[in-house]
Structure 1
Amino acid sequence: MGHMIEKKGDLLARVKRIAGQVSAVERGLDRDAGCAEILHLVAAVRGAVNGLLDEIVVDHLDEHVAKPGLSDAERKKGAEELMTVIRRYVK
């Protein structure tokens, strides 16, 4: 996806923050942190991943479904790709 290159730096920064949050969960488990603390850490990871997913979904919609000039076939393919991801996500 050529259009992803424009946001690559921001997306990688988000992924690195998520990796840091996952490491915090691991550290909490290693030091026997309480379940409430672990729940908060995991909820933060989930929120960060959801934010990343949201950003990429919106970008996909803009570039592969709503972008002016796309053919019907291109729009259909973009929509199908998105439906596949959404179905996988909501399981």
Structure 2
Amino acid sequence: MSHLSQNKAKLLARVRRLKGQMEAIERKLEDDAHCGEVLNLVASVRGAISGLTAELIEDHLREHVSNPDKDEDPARAQGAAELIDVIRTYLK
């Protein structure tokens, strides 16, 4: 079983929320909404995409590179934990 399958419902829920946000942007554009409203919606989508990206990268790192909670090599575990922190910070 793929590690993505384990979180499938959660990931699909996030993607569906993103889809709803994108549809809201489309509606605003069709309705000739004020540009500030559209920009705020776009910023929200960007944040949501960044959060999803960070989660997928972290899951990939834990599954295929090194899981800091399980790695027996303390240096590699620390490096993986540090990289996860950097990814979370960078993609905030």
TM-score (structure 2 length as normaliser)? 0.71
Give the superposed CA RMSD. Answer: 1.4
Matches within 5 A, 1:1-91: 2-67=2-67, 68=71
Task: Compare the two structures and name the one with the higher helix fraction.
Answer: 1
The one-letter code sitting in structure 1 at the alignment partner of 2:52 is L
Aligned-pair identity (%): 52
SS of residue matched to 1:5: helix
RCO (CA 8 Å, sep 6+): is it higher in 1 or 2? 2
Displacement of 1:64: 0.8
How many Å separate the matches in 2 of 1:11 and 1:41? 21
How many Å separate the matches in 2 of 1:48 and 1:20? 12
Corresponding residue of 2:90: none
The one-letter code sitting in structure 2 at the alignment partner of 1:47 is G
The one-letter code sitting in structure 2 at the alignment partner of 1:37 is E
TM-score (structure 1 length as normaliser)? 0.72
Gaps of 5+ in 2: 73-92
Displacement of 1:3: 1.1
C-alpha deviations, 1:16-65, integer Å up to 9, x for none? 00000000000000000001000000001111111100100000110111
SS of residue matched to 2:63: helix
Moved over 3 A (4+): none
